[in-house]
Amino acid sequence: MKKLQILILLLIFNFSYAQVDKIEPEFWWSGMKNTELQLLVYGKNISDLVPEFSSNIPIKEVKKVENPNYLFVTIDTKSVPPGKVQLNFKKGKKTVQKFDYEFKRRNPNSAQRKGFDSSDVFYLIMPDRFANGNPNNDNTPDTAEKADRSNPNGRHGGDIEGIIQNLDYLNDLGITTIWTTPMLEDNEPVFSYHGYAQSDYYKIDPRFGNNEDYKRLADEMHKRDMKLVMDYVTNHWGSKHWIIQDLPTQDWIHIWDTEEARQQNGFQRSNYRMTTQFDLNASQTDAEGCMDGWFDTTMPDMNQKNPLVLNYMVQNAIWWIEYAGLDGLRVDTYSYNDKEGIAEWTQRVMDEYPNFNIVGEVWMHDQAQMAYWQKDSKIAAIQNYNSHLPSVMDFTLHDAIGMVFHEKEQSWDSGMIRVYENFTNDFLYPDINNLMVFMENHDTNRFNQIYDKLEDYKLGLSLILTVRGIPQLYYGSEIGMKGEKSKGDGDIRRDFPGGWKSDAQNAFTESGRTAEQKEYFDFTKKLLNWRKGNSAIHHGKTLHFVPQDNVYVYFRYDENSGETVMVVLNNSEKNQSLEMKRFKEGIKNFKKGKDVISDKEFELNNRLEIKSKSSMILELK
């Protein structure tokens, strides 16, 4: 009896002492360009185990770290065909656990997928606030925060199904690309709806749906020739991330060793001074304060100098691109990352998908500073740096847009000259058509809050849809939605009316829109659908003229197709009469122009009359 008890105890010891709970990524693909794959294996005391594939898959390295609950297993997948292989974990000669690890077959031309470009128009959605297509997932047992629409800073219940159900609305509007704020699990107890404190990088938040729903969203969009862009966060994870809860190594995140930080689990807030990344005069202390400081208390700062961290992020991004069929990434707080680490991350993703596109959030207020972060920047090359980032966001244009339409009179540095001056710095960017242009986003005042008149919305939209770059709209602006940043982020992230069955109004439908909402929508739809087919706007060059009397005139022209578009923005409160001889350089031999907005045709041989606070977009003929 005693021997039996001992045997039972030995069996319990062998099978409980070292137990694999998780392998990430949970599957991979055959035929990837980078054939090296690093598996993160997690479980109690698994460093005692030895991994072994039953097939002839070479294990290049098994790395143990200070936490015995982790193994990092690097394998060579070069000759691995699609299918399942057995991965064994052994203790001595005994096999403790067996796993079927799958290598999937890649979709045809996956590596050559084409990312978004300047022929596209982005529509930025906060999924929790857009539409609730499946009320059954508003609350789940394994997530902390519950839905409460009465709380402007709480979860409201919008989800993936809600987006899918309204894809035809967006397609009809003229949108080609959707960028959603993060939808990976964010299990913070409060403010989890925005998704930027992610707790599992391989799992869609169950309150949005599941991984299959996310893939279905991409598939449904592709059926409509639309593109899906994931909001990817490299700079920080959420404090509830399962890896953060049991760190593989102490240097997985930046833990600060100051008296204040020690009282807050290593937290020290970033100084947010992104200029220290390239400032030749910056102190190392200040540079580290930006790169290594935490974005917020619930967002530990990731250490991209740690190759295990960086590799995990690279593989995770590639996993989502391959799994969901993504068409691009938008990278949050790009310039807060370790600059060398984020450059390597970007390059490795782009090497796998050479025609892909990634836009980085570089929230700076100087064109040279923003241009520093774009791929092949000659400014950054002075410091032998290349971010490899194809696209950046044009925040200086956003700055100008936030003031210009209140400035009814032009002076030396106010009025439409603000917009003109922004474009005079285009020479700083290595790829000017690969800038994202926008009037607002999920972190700023709503454009229609700053300007409460439809005429200003028409001016702003006419501008961003006709200048160089990739326009981005924010959900609900097409029906005049407002929101004041000073009232809290919840106010600039209001629910789209009609996204919930209980809503009194449904602005997703024509009959459900008010007369005012219809004016906003119809104007937006007309310009967006016109823009889809105009190569001069997509890829053309720009010729612009110094604004006079608060009127800005510019031309977009495509030398290959011969298309030319003349844009006139009258920000003055007075009707204006323009002498056409001044614009002969852009008009050339064209005689007439048809206004896209009014559908009227105008002669170009004498003067052009334009009403106050209005725009004209003339296709020259």
Q: What residues act catalytically?
A: 332, 361
Residue 618 and residue 593 in contact, taking contact as beta carbons nearer than 8 Å: yes
Strand-pair partners of 331: 232, 360
Task: Using alpha carbons, list the distances in angstroms from residue 535 to 224, 304, 455.
Answer: 21, 40, 27
Task: Using alpha carbons, list the distances in angstroms from residue 4 to 11, 12, 18.
Answer: 11, 12, 22
Among the listed residues 344, 237, 251, 351, the one whose alpha carbon sits nearest the alpha carbon of residue 298: 237
Q: Is the dihedral of CA 433, 439, 445, 446 positive or negative?
A: negative
Among the listed residues 601, 598, 607, 599, the one whose alpha carbon sits nearest the alpha carbon of residue 621: 601
Contacts of 515 (CB under 8 A, 6+ apart): none
Residue 232 and residue 329 in contact, taking contact as beta carbons nearer than 8 Å: yes
Torsion, Cα of 135, 137, 143, 147 (10° steps): -10
Contacts of 487 (CB under 8 A, 6+ apart): none
d(CA 301, CA 248) in angstroms, rounded, equals 15
Opening angle at CA 545, ends 540 and 547, nearest 5: 130
d(CA 580, CA 566) in angstroms, rounded, equals 11
Among the listed residues 318, 130, 346, 139, the one whose alpha carbon sits nearest the alpha carbon of residue 217: 130
User: What 3-state class would DSSP assign to 266?
Assistant: coil
